[in-house]
Structure 1
């Protein structure tokens, strides 16, 4: 006699869906952060993909919003761990996007009024991504805009720490944050140069080279606030007077 397995019972509320998506996201992040070797690290790809598809369909049916649901990969076994990792990463990125859609439906008090804290330039380049739950691109674009502003003000073409080393050192500063004739002014100059370099390395580089990230609404908001502070300082900085 064939045993009939009933389909999984869908969550009966949006709250339950948020709980399930959050759980899937956290379980996948445990795999990402594990010390297991690659050949065995991504074998859970199929289970996660099927779970994501289930939750994405529930969200689609509940909200009427179009959202990716994967097809052939759920049946085809990748030939090696590289293929498994690619599917795992795609599933994780979609899970994070779904998580963002769900959590922004009811903003948390911690990020209420966020736009009031942001510089207009950061609002323009980042808030559309942020409001869509695309926290990764909201952060990457905010940091990119900082270095676009440095290039705009100096006509230099380099990027990242190399650009900072050409613009802000005391002995050859092209832009000055306050003044460099006092110890406190020099500390301000070098300190903000180092913050910009670290922000590029730890923020932009860390998030632009992979779809995998641990950003959520609050973490991304904190990046955007820091980007806004730095954007204000860059716009207020004055060119070094000619000798």
Structure 2
């Protein structure tokens, strides 16, 4: 994620009014997009510092954490999401899994979680920050996607045979 392959240098805020302006802009953008509170909680500091690389990294990790909290599972990444949201014998479900559309929605959530893990979490974990540039617009888009996934996870429920 680059600006035509160029590194983008961000000017540090030098006055309190500049910090306040940036913070108001950030808060406004997050409110406008209804970003999930769990996303804001886990990466607010990085975002305010304009450290978008680490902001999206922290937000992406929060998805696995929420699934582990809801299920008690210990797996990570694809293993976690594939097992938690399997269409046959899932630990978590977002619907009754009775119709083809309901099964598609369940599978789609699983694939979106896997996609964010592969494209965001794994890349930020294994690439140097200087090689995978995340600008503010990319960060907003990624955080919006992660926010959507958090909202879906909030609506998911533990399948009865897996309730402890």
2:99 aligned with 1:182: yes
Q: Which runs of 5 or more structure 1 residues have no equivalent in the other structure? A: 1-24, 31-91
Of residues 222, 227, 236 in structure 1, which corresponds to 2:146? Answer: 227
Q: Which structure has the bigger radius of gyration?
A: 1
2:48 aligned with 1:131: yes
Change in Cα spacing, 1:185 to 1:204, as seen in structure 2 (3 Å) is same
For 2:30, the equivalent position in structure 1 comes to 115
Contact 1:100 1:216 in 2 (8 A): no
- Residues of 1 paired with 2:146 and 2:11: CA distance? 21
For 1:168, the equivalent position in structure 2 comes to 85
- Residues of 2 paired with 1:188 and 1:160: CA distance? 19
Give the SS at the match of 1:156. Answer: coil
Q: Which runs of 5 or more structure 2 residues have no equivalent in the other structure? A: none
For 1:241, the equivalent position in structure 2 comes to 160
Contact 1:119 1:231 in 2 (8 A): yes
For 2:73, the equivalent position in structure 1 comes to 156
Of residues 215, 220, 223 in structure 1, which corresponds to 2:134? Answer: 215
- Residues of 1 paired with 2:94 and 2:11: CA distance? 36
2:61 aligned with 1:144: yes
- Residues of 1 paired with 2:61 and 2:159: CA distance? 24
Give the SS at the match of 1:173. Answer: coil
TM-score calculated relative to the size of structure 2: 0.81
Residue correspondence of structure 1 range 52-67 to structure 2 within 5 A? none
Contact 1:125 1:142 in 2 (8 A): yes
Across the two proteins, how many residue pairs are aligned to each other? 150
Change in Cα spacing, 1:154 to 1:100, as seen in structure 2 (3 Å) is farther
* CA root-mean-square deviation: 2.5
TM-score calculated relative to the size of structure 1: 0.56
